Structure formats: C-alpha cells, structure tokens
Copies of this chain bind each other. A is one copy, B any other.
Amino acid sequence: MIPSSERLSRQIAFVLELDKLKTVLRQTLLLDSSRFENDAEHSWHVAVMAMVLAEHAPPGIDIGRVAQMLLLHDVVEIDAGDTFIHDEAGAADKEARETAAADRLYGLLPADQAAGLRALWEEFEAKESPEARFADALDRLQPILHNVATEGETWKRHGVTADKVLRLAGRIDRGAPALGAYARALVTEAVRRGYLAPAPDGLTG
C-alpha cells in the first residue's frame, strides 16, 4: 500500500510490533509508587545506566554493545510476559516461552538482520561474555535501587527475604564487583531500616 522496499517494510513491521513492550508490566514500582514499571521504560533505564556506570565495568568492555543488549533484552516478553525474578514456578518454562517468542518476533525482520539481533539477545541470556554479565548486573541492580527507594514495597508484597536479594547481588558481582559490593551494602541498609525481611534461620544467601 505504502511504497517501500520489502526490506524496509519488514523493519517497520518489527518497529511497530515493539510498541507492545510498553504494555508489559513488571513487578517493580516507579520511584513515586504511582504504578508498575513497564518493560520498555525499564529497558531504557538500564541502557542509560550502562552509559552512566560504565567505569565500573571490567576494562575493555564494549559499552555500546551492552546498551544495545539491554535495549533488546526484554523484547521476547511481548509474547512471553514478564517472569518475576523470585518466581520459581514461572522460571520453569521461561526458556521455552521466550524461545518461541524470539522465533515469532525476530522472524518479522529480514533474515540476516533477525539473526544478528537475536544473537545479541542470546548472548545476553547466556551470561558468559563480559558484556552480557555487565548488562545482567545492571538489570539486577535497578530493581534493588527501586525497592530501596520505595521502602521495599515489592519485596514486602512478595515476601522476599534478604538471602534472595543477596543471591542477586552475587550475580551483580560477576559483571561488576564494585556494583555487587554496593548492592550488598544496600541490602544491609534495607534490612536495618525494615524495608527487607532478614534471611530466615540466619541464612545469608
């Protein structure tokens, strides 16, 4: 209908489909507690964090690549939905749901481009490259920051305890030790202030 190359048409179809990520809600609240955060604005926030916190990444890391990974990291949730980080039941079939979603969504693009962007998402999921680990660290740190700033609203609603958040801090360590140390300090302070319940039975993660 609108004159354009087949290739551009496919790219625009993908761009329009991405709009749906703005309606996928996470468990994280905005800092003013007015509503839940959606995946699109979360992806923006962590991508900017990559720029702002770049100096805490291991030397030689490609921050542009980290930012691009974070821009795409939740796109599969358009079909698969958001799985709360502490939801063990939801985690069981998460991979299958997300793989099917990637097939459909990246399949909207020209094949060569689909492969390239999907590879970037798969690199993020594998958490093996320094870039993927730093991206994962930021993706874990951001909800901790939001929880502390909202006096632990999401933690309290889901009965999350300090040992579980400390496990996430361990993942932050793998990507950015300085940010992992900062996250652990946040957990200690959150427990002290009553925003986060201590570990049951003296567990420390």
Contacts and interface: CB of A to CB of B under 8 A. Distances in A.
B67 A12 contact: no
Copies in the complex: 2
Q: State which size class the interface on A falls in.
A: 35 or more
The majority secondary structure among interface residues of chain A is helix
A2 interface: yes
Nearest to A54: B113
Contacts of A186: 2
Contact of A48 (B51, B71, B145): B71
A24 to B, nearest CB: 11
A79 interface: no
Interface of A: 1-4, 8, 11-12, 14-16, 18-23, 30-32, 34, 37-38, 40-41, 43-45, 47-49, 51-53, 56, 64-65, 67-68, 71-72, 109, 113, 117, 145-146, 149, 178, 182, 185-186, 189
24 contacts: A2-B189, A3-B185, A11-B53, A15-B52, A16-B145, A19-B32, A19-B45, A19-B146, A21-B41, A22-B41, A22-B45, A23-B30, A23-B32, A23-B34, A40-B45, A41-B41, A41-B44, A43-B44, A47-B71, A48-B71, A51-B117, A52-B113, A64-B65, A67-B71
